[in-house]
Amino acid sequence: MGKRTISPVSTTTNEDSNRRPRAVSIRDVARRAGVSIATVSRAVNRIPTVDTELAKRVWKAVDEVGYMPNTQARALVSGRSRMLGLVVSEITNPFFPELVQEFENLAVGQGYEVMIGSTNYESARTESLIRRMLQRNVDGIAVMTFGIEEDLVQKLVDREFPLVFVDRGPQLPNLRLLKVDYGEGIRQAVQHLAALGHRMIAFISGPLRLRSAVARRDAYLKSMDELGLIVPAEHLVEGDHTMEGGMRAMERLIALSELPTAVLCSNDMTAIGVLHALYRTDLKVPRDICVVGYDDIHLVQFMLPPLTTVQMSCKELAAAAVEALRAGIEKNHPMADRTEWQIPTRLVVRQSTTFPRGSLPALMMKGAGQPHFADVK
């Protein structure tokens, strides 16, 4: 009888084949960088006393071995999560996603992560978001909306927790404010229209329960008064900062016995709605009526015609918010004693404004076959 050949039995089990590879640890980073575990910990937590070149070596080793620092463990070591909270009003208005993107780009570039929430203008949701962010141990919160109870803010102030508000926060010490100069941009818009010859300039506001909407409306009224221009009650229409609201508001103006020659809107979404309402009529922009927006979201430069608007730079607002938070978080920050940041606004002239219909310059342009827009600032 011949010898039987016995095949070797595999010792690999299903459990072995499904076993996850060993996790990379801080010891692997220390071994790769040739430093102590304590040095890696200080470098990863961005402790400022770590030598710059040594920190670069540690981070190079982190990349090479694929180490993923544990955020919660890091917070236990440093007392900081290196996470910032950002609360915005909504995400359907393109202004806020643009603001979020700029904020996140800047924060990540400076070694912070970002936790984001939107409130849809609901005060209860605002407080819920802030409490959830606190549970996640964020280092500071920028509140780009309204509706937070002063009691909650007071508790955070007592803990010296960094908070940043836009426009105006509760009347409490140690808060940092981003103060938007709504007046300058709207003044430039009104003066631009007046320089073209407009006298009947209507205004579509945002919902007047919002401080920012009231501030923009008041800036319009003040700018008109400075030029001695009268504002009939029917030329002041309350909108809701949406395209649909802009359409409804413009329909009210179209129904007037005499159409204004220009409409200034409290935000760009309203202005887009105004353009759509006018598109459904025989009225042409800017030949028959001029339209000006507010915010300068990316979309409006691609509208037909490209929209003249007041720019409130998302980049400047985001940069100020990140800097203000860091000033409250980082002990040796050069802006630690600063409590206010000014956010400028400025007019961006495109092709939705020109001379008023029926005026001599407009008639001359029409006779010469020239386009119905004018670059007059």
Extents of the domains making up the chain: 23-64, 83-181+315-344, 182-311+347-367
**What radius of gyration, in Å, describes the C-alpha atoms of the chain?**
29
**Residues of the chain scoring pLDDT < 50:** 1, 3-13, 15-17, 76, 374-377
Task: Please name the fold of domain 182-311+347-367.
Answer: Rossmann fold (3.40.50)
Long-range contacts at 123-128 (CB < 8 A, ≥ 24 apart): 123/147, 123/148, 123/149, 126/87, 127/152
The pLDDT score that the predictor gives to residue 11 is: 47
Residue 87: name the closest of 103, 111, 71, 72 by CA: 103
Sheet holding 262-265, edge to edge: 236-238, 201-205, 262-265, 290-295, 308-311, 346-348
pLDDT of residue 377: 34
Specify the pLDDT at position 18: 52
- Euclidean distance between CA atoms 217 and 209, whole angstroms: 12
Residue 127 makes CB contacts below 8 A (sequence gap 6+) with 147, 148, 149, 152
Residue 209 has a pLDDT of 86
182-311+347-367 matches 83-181+315-344 in CATH topology: yes
pLDDT of residue 370: 62
Task: State the residue for tokens 């691609």.
Answer: 302
**Residue 58 and residue 32: Cα distance in Å, rounded?**
8
Whether pTM > 0.85 for this model: the answer is no
The per-residue pLDDT for 62 is 85
Angle, CA of 296, 300 and 302, to the nearest 5°: 140
| Largest CA-CA distance found in the chain, in angstroms, rounded | 120
pLDDT at 90: 83
The whole-angstrom separation of Cα 218 and Cα 208 is 11
Looking at the domain that runs over 83-181+315-344, which CATH code has it been given?
3.40.50.2300
**pLDDT digits 0-9 by tens, 46-77:** 666 788 888 888 888 888 888 876 655 555 45
Task: Find where tokens 């236990």 sit.
Answer: 76
pLDDT in tens, 251-290: 999 999 999 999 999 999 999 999 999 999 999 999 999 9
Rounded (10°) CA dihedral 315, 317, 323, 325: -130
CATH classification of 23-64, choosing from 3.40.640.10, 1.10.260.40, 3.30.470.10, 3.40.50.1820?
Answer: 1.10.260.40
Q: Give the pLDDT confidence score for residue 127 in this predicted structure.
A: 82
Q: What is the pLDDT of residue 159?
A: 76
